[in-house]
Amino acid sequence: MNRVAVIGVGVTKFGELWDYSFSDLFVEAGSAAIIDAGIDGKDIGSIYVGNMSGGRFVNQEHIASLIADHAGLNPVPATRIEAACASGGLAVRQGVMAVASGMHDVVVVGGAEKMTDITTEKVTQILVTAADQEWEAFLGMTFPGLYGMIARRHMHEFGTTREQLAEVAVKNHANAKNNPTAQFRFDVSVEKVLNSTMVADPLTLLDCSPITDGAACIILATEEKAGEFCDSPIYITGAGQSTSTIALHDRLQMTVSDATINASKMAYKMAGKTPGDIDVAEVHDCFTIAELIGIEGLDFCDIGSGGRFTEEGCTAIGGEIPVNTSGGLKAKGHPVGATGVAQVVEIAYQLRGEAGKRQVDGAEVGLTHNVGGSGGTAAVHILER
């Protein structure tokens, strides 16, 4: 099996990008990644695109062909990957498998979503298509509602406090200040989070990731091919994917992400690493409670202790395991199809020592964790310098 290297990365600014079309976003991120890798279009064997719902957000299906066309990469084969908010993470996995298997020497993996051209109400309706339609969405449930229930149950079972949830937002906004492509580059306080508009008890507006436009792209290559373009490639040494029940009420324990646990075990085993080996991680934090159950499922701390672990500063830059140095979905932004790819971009910056003021000293091993829905899908990747 071939070793898989990340030889180029690119990302657009995240936010309300009124002057960009959907295809503009991907072309900008893809062009940046190709330039960063120093490759030519003729080197590319395949394209994998993470996109949750172009057909609903911008009335555009046939996404993969559109992107290959607008990027000037015809006739390169292109494939769209959909797994709700984990679409980008699964696109990365498909790219890894294509290179590792020897099918292709070089592939492009991207993710893009254009979400802000419609109303918040319509966005909410589109996003909840990733929940169980018969038992959740039909009864009026939304994702803030689902994660609000997870948060309440976590507080009940483990003594997690409202302030500990808010600390996730405080940390991630502090990191986003130093990320030039982040959507929200400003500080928030625990008090500001607690006093912001209630969305789904106990989650307030500042516990929730925003509606975002954006795209991200990476170039993957075999070790041999990487040597032609790159002096110090980053290797993806572990990849894991798992599924769970799509409906929250069918899980054995709603406060535990079994998909995260299983995907991370697969990735750790493949890479020959343990949670203690990880120097920096991008963890799916669509809501503040999601980061807590994410770091617990990844075994960075015990189940139920994520709130205390965060409150003690263990996930801050300089802490035991810095989490979401990019600002996370919460402050960097969450263009759902692009998120999993953007996480790899951030870890590549960290391992290349190019993260600026948010750099984790001596980072050599990083991890990405991307979740679909309320935990029906999880993808975990481990990267090494």
- Structural domain includes residue 61: yes
* Cβ atoms within 10 Å, residue 66: 19
Residue 140 lies in a domain: yes
- Please report the pLDDT score of residue 40 as a whole number: 87
Dihedral angle computed from the Cα positions of residues 183, 37, 70 and 116, in that order, rounded to the nearest 10 degrees: -10
Question: Are both 364 and 300 inside the same structural domain?
Answer: yes
Task: Verify that 336 and 362 share a domain, yes or no.
Answer: yes
Looking at residue 299, its pLDDT comes to: 98
**Helix spans in 71-119 (H):** 87-100
Q: What angle do CA 269, 274, 280 make, to 5 degrees?
A: 115
The total number of structural domains in the chain stands at 2
Question: Based on the domain organization, do 192 and 329 belong to the same domain?
Answer: yes
**Nearest residue to 162 via CA among 186, 187, 185, 196:** 196
Whether residue 173 sits in one domain with residue 72: no
Whether residue 292 sits in one domain with residue 176: yes
Residue 339 lies in a domain: yes
**Residues β-bridged to residue 110:** 49, 217
Q: Which domain holds residue 223?
A: 4-119+211-234
Does residue 348 lie within any of the structural domains?
yes
Beta-carbon contacts of 315 under 8 Å, excluding residues fewer than 6 positions away, are 171, 291, 295, 300, 309, 321, 322, 323, 324
pLDDT at 146: 97
Q: What's the rounded Cα separation, in Å, for the pair 206 and 195?
A: 9
CA distance 71 to 234: 25
pLDDT values of the chain reduced to their tens digit, one per residue, 385 residues: 899 999 999 999 999 999 999 999 999 999 999 999 999 888 999 999 999 999 999 999 999 999 999 999 999 999 999 999 999 999 999 999 999 999 999 999 999 999 999 999 999 999 999 999 999 999 999 999 999 999 999 999 999 999 999 999 999 999 999 999 999 999 999 999 999 999 999 999 999 999 999 999 999 999 999 999 988 899 999 999 999 999 999 999 999 999 999 999 999 999 999 999 999 999 999 999 999 999 999 999 999 999 999 999 999 999 999 999 999 999 999 999 999 999 999 999 999 999 999 999 999 999 999 999 999 999 999 999 9
Q: Answer whether residue 136 is part of any domain.
A: yes
CATH number of the domain residue 99 falls in: 3.40.47.10
Residue 70 lies in a domain: yes
Comparing CA positions, the residue from 104, 113, 111 lying closest to residue 39 is: 104
Interatomic CA distance for residues 278 and 217, integer angstroms = 23
Alpha carbons within 13 A on the beta-carbon side of 377: 19
Shared domain check, 224 and 250:
no
Question: Do residues 80 and 49 touch, judged by C-beta distance below 8 A?
Answer: yes
| Beta pairing, strands 365-372 & 234-243 | unpaired
Greatest C-alpha distance within the chain: 56
Verify that 322 and 254 share a domain, yes or no. Answer: yes
Cα gap 73→201, rounded to integer Å: 47
- Tell me the pairing of strands 234-243 and 4-11: antiparallel
Write out the catalytic residue numbers.
85, 334
Closest CA to 372 of 262, 279, 259: 259
pLDDT score for 180? 98
**Residue 49 domain-assigned (yes or no):** yes
Q: State if pTM tops 0.95.
A: yes
Residue 125 located in a structural domain: no
Question: CA–CA separation, 272 vs 274, rounded Å?
Answer: 7
Do 340 and 205 share a structural domain?
Answer: yes
Residues 102 and 163 in one domain: no
Distance between CA atoms of residues 250 and 376, nearest Å: 11
Same domain, 335 and 194: yes
